[in-house]
């Protein structure tokens, strides 16, 4: 699991922002939100412009750095990469993972989205390697610890992640620490409910949603999903026009093209349904503005749906009504404000209990600093 993340000098985060999943508070209710004393389900609230989307891009920078999986083009924005108010010429990314008893710390610095300045890897507080991409100097004495001592590192021409190089050029046992780390990264998924199928991770190319549903014989599954989670009753079929496959919504007299008649919320549900078929394999899912097109009750249903999965989940939302102990718990709701992020329970001196009205407290500014 990802247990801690911090970023500095990236986009609107001039100062260090720390997201610590280990700050759980041993509540005895909604325990499905926590795994191994690590928070596994998070909802982040914040005003427009506070950086909720930027936080997603920051957390998922590791996917762009260490894999060849698909990355939404907005993550490659060179002009918006470094904080515009800082004279520091690089952004810092720090990740801490826990797999069993092993603690992995993977840290790096970048001057641009695709340009590394420095990289280091620790396992159980022991340095495995570090490398300065500008001076071409580093320490690789402990590569033997991860079965990578025979690698032929061309330090003078190295211009991409050492971890990526290790992943691509060594045979790791399935239960090795490096295998677990790389597998976690490759199964991270970021997507957003707004607009087209914009995502980071998990896949190498973009699917057309209608064609994917039809080709995988999931029309009936999609119908049932819409009915169960949103009480949307559609009778779907499909047709092919030219080279394109379309979903059709059948009515008594004629069928209508799904994309023409479906509401924004139903289209967002189609995208969610598409990605939900990967949730069993996912390690961490970040859904940006997950409920932008949803009715309040539907938003609650989506959260309950996600709670059934073993993966870590990070959601961003403007809907303060979702702050409810009936859904989650005070250490799983976070506020992003002024470049800092804290859970509700760490943002007030009041002892928060199951009976508290978190939504009312949020609206009244209880968690403002």
pLDDT score of 242: 85
CA pair distance 146, 138, nearest whole angstrom: 17
Scan for tokens 């924004």, then name that residue. 264
DSSP E strands in the chain: the ranges are 2-8, 17-20, 34-35, 38-39, 41-45, 91-99, 102-112, 115-123, 126-132, 137-139, 188-192, 199-200, 236-241, 244-250, 255-257, 284-288, 312-317, 333-337, 340-343
pLDDT score of 351: 95
CA pair distance 220, 273, nearest whole angstrom: 12
Mind listing the domains of the chain with CATH numbers?
A: 2-202+278-363 (3.40.50.300), 212-265 (no CATH)
Query: How many other CB atoms are there within 10 angstroms of residue 101's CB atom?
Result: 6
CA pair distance 284, 186, nearest whole angstrom: 10
Residues of the chain with confidence (pLDDT) below 70: 195, 369
pTM here is 0.96
Which tens digit of pLDDT belongs to each residue from 56-111?
999 999 999 999 999 999 899 999 999 999 999 999 999 999 999 999 999 999 99
DSSP, res 207? P
pLDDT score of 74: 87
pLDDT score of 244: 86
pLDDT score of 369: 66
Which tens digit of pLDDT belongs to each residue from 277-313?
999 999 999 999 999 999 999 999 999 999 999 999 9
pLDDT score of 368: 85
């Amino acid at each position: 699991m990802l247990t801690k993340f911090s970023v500095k000098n990236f986009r609107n985060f001039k100062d260090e922002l720390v997201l610590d999943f280990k700050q759980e508070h041993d509540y005895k209710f909604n325990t499905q939100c926590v795994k191994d004393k690590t928070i596994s389900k998070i909802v982040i609230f914040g005003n427009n412009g506070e950086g909720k989307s930027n936080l997603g891009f920051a957390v998922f920078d590791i996917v762009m750095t260490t894999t060849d999986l698909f990355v939404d083009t907005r993550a490659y924005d060179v002009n918006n990469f470094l904080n515009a108010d800082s004279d520091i010429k690089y952004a810092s990314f720090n990740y801490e993972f826990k797999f069993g008893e092993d603690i992995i710390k993977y840290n790096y610095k970048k001057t641009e989205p695709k340009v590394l300045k420095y990289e280091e890897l620790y396992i159980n507080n022991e340095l495995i390697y570090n490398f300065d991409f500008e001076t071409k100097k580093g320490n690789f004495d402990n590569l033997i610890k991860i079965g990578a001592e025979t690698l032929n590192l061309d330090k003078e021409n190295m211009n991409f992640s050492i971890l990526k190089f290790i992943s691509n050029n060594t045979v790791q046992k399935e239960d090795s620490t490096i295998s677990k780390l790389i597998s976690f990264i490759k199964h991270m998924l970021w997507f957003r409910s707004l607009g087209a199928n914009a995502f980071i991770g998990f896949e190498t190319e973009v699917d057309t949603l209608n064609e994917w549903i039809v080709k995988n014989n999931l029309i009936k599954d999609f119908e049932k999903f819409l009915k169960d989670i949103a009480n949307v009753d559609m009778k779907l079929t499909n047709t092919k026009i030219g080279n394109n496959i379309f979903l059709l919504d059948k009515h008594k007299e004629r069928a209508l093209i799904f994309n023409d008649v479906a509401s924004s919320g139903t289209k967002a549900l189609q995208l969610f349904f598409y990605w939900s078929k990967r949730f069993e394999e996912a390690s961490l899912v970040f859904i940006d503005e997950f409920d932008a097109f949803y009715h309040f009750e539907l938003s609650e249903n989506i959260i309950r749906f996600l709670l059934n999965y073993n993966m870590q989940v990070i959601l961003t939302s403007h809907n303060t009504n979702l702050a409810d102990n009936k859904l989650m718990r005070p250490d799983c709701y976070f506020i992003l404000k002024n470049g800092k992020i804290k859970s509700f329970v760490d943002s007030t001196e009041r002892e928060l209990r199951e009976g508290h009205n978190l939504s009312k407290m949020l609206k009244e500014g209880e968690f403002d600093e």
